Amino acid sequence: MKTVQDYLYDPRIISDPDIMSGPEEIRTIHAIRLKQQDETSGMSYEEKAAFHRKKTDTMFASIGLPPLKYVNLSGQGKIKPKATVSK
């Protein structure tokens, strides 16, 4: 699996003059985004959610924190706007 450092030299980043002329932090952000896109391409929404939960739980465990408790709000419908009262 490619690392963020590998993505810093990806042709998609190197061939973009705007990214290359910008601050190093911008290149790093683009490298992280490309890495996430490549890792999750072709996954369903549920697979992506599980993938990111696993990564998050691993990160919290590495710093000694318990895993997060996730809330599932699916199937609850759309938020309905409050009725406006005109005078």
Which amino acid, residue 56?
Answer: T
Angle (CA) 51 53 57, round 5°: 120
Q: Which domain holds residue 77?
A: 1-87
CA distance 25 to 33: 12
Tally the domains of the chain: 1
Average pLDDT over residues 14-30: 94
pLDDT in tens, 50-87: 999 999 999 999 999 988 887 777 767 776 667 777 76
CA distance 70 to 74: 12
- At which residue do the structure tokens 């042709």 appear? 11
Q: Which segments within the chain are labelled E, that is strand?
A: none
